[in-house]
Amino acid sequence: MMNPKVVRSFILGAILAYLVPALTLVLSARFGVLPVQADVAPSRLESALLGAALRATVAHNATNGNNPLPASNDILIAGAGTYRDLCAHCHGISRESDNSLGRSFYPPAPQLPLKRTAYTDSELFWIVKHGIRNTAMPAWGKLLSDDEIWQVVAVIRDFDSLSDSVSSALRHRLQ
């Protein structure tokens, strides 16, 4: 049988081990000592925690599956027009585009033409439809139909292999 004093000390130690860090975080937030400005790089801990939370939430909420629209040039051209008008100013339109607006956000908007995303099609759909809180990524679900969002997902997925006609549709009106 365990000594009651040892058990009581263990329980008190466990409670304090969780309570002290939580109280420190709450008090730091309450007294305004946590950095919130967008022009200062976040700590590694903050980046790791928020990045992990974002990835886990998107994966949890996105349905499994691929883009239900057929892969066609017409779908990509339609998606390119929507991307050009609504997404390109923050996420870029080509490797050569000036994306200073997107880079000025915290966290910076991913430059989609430069690096293939690790998100699945359904996760990209969820992000475009619902947005990401406390970033500049709006929820497009009330402005775009599901088909329009899937068209944009198709463009994002195929950035590195777009045909000349789709690339032309991306650049047509953006100046």
Domain boundaries, the chain: 1-34, 56-171
- In tens digits, what is the pLDDT along the chain, a chain of 175 residues? 678 888 889 999 989 899 998 898 888 888 888 777 777 778 888 888 888 999 999 999 998 788 999 889 999 999 999 999 999 999 998 877 777 888 888 888 999 998 889 999 999 999 999 999 888 899 999 999 999 999 999 999 988 888 999 988 888 764 4
Helix, strand, coil distribution of the chain in percent, nearest 5: 55, 0, 45
Dist. CA 14–CA 173, nearest whole Å: 61
Q: What Rg, from alpha-carbon coordinates, does the chain have?
A: 22
Indicate yes or no: pTM above 0.75: yes
Dist. CA 39–CA 30, nearest whole Å: 21
Helix or strand run (H / E) with residue 25: helix 4-30
Dist. CA 6–CA 154, nearest whole Å: 61
Q: Which of 151, 149, 123 is nearest to 65 (CA)?
A: 123
**Which residue is it, tokens 């309450």?**
30
The CATH H-level (homologous superfamily) assignment of domain 56-171 is Cytochrome c-like domain (1.10.760.10)
